[in-house]
Amino acid sequence: MASSTAAAPGGLNHYAYATNDMIKTHKFWTEVMRCKFLGAQRQGGEPDKYSGETLGSFLHCFYGLADGSAVAFFELANNFTKTDDGIPAFTKHLALSVNSRDELYDWMAHFKSCGVDVKGEIDHDGLWYSIYVIDPNGQMVELTWQSRPFNEKDVEEGLEIMRQWREDKAGGRLVSTAEASPSIPKCPGHPCTSLLDPNLDLRTPK
Give the strands of the sheet with 128-134, arranged side by side. Answer: 94-97, 140-146, 128-134, 119-124
Measured CA to CA, the distance from residue 89 to residue 148 in angstroms comes to: 26
- Cβ neighbours of residue 111 closer than 8 Å, sequence gap 6 or more: 32, 117, 118, 131, 133
Domains and CATH numbers, the chain: 11-77 (3.10.180.10), 87-162 (3.10.180.10)
Q: Over the stretch 86-137, which tens digit does the pLDDT of each residue have?
A: 888 889 999 999 999 999 999 999 999 999 999 999 999 999 999 999 999 9
- pLDDT averaged over the chain? 85
Q: Over the stretch 15-53, which tens digit does the pLDDT of each residue have?
A: 999 999 999 999 999 999 999 999 999 988 777 777 778
Is 194 strand, coil or helix?
Answer: strand
pLDDT at position 53: 82
Measured CA to CA, the distance from residue 41 to residue 58 in angstroms comes to: 8
pTM: 0.79
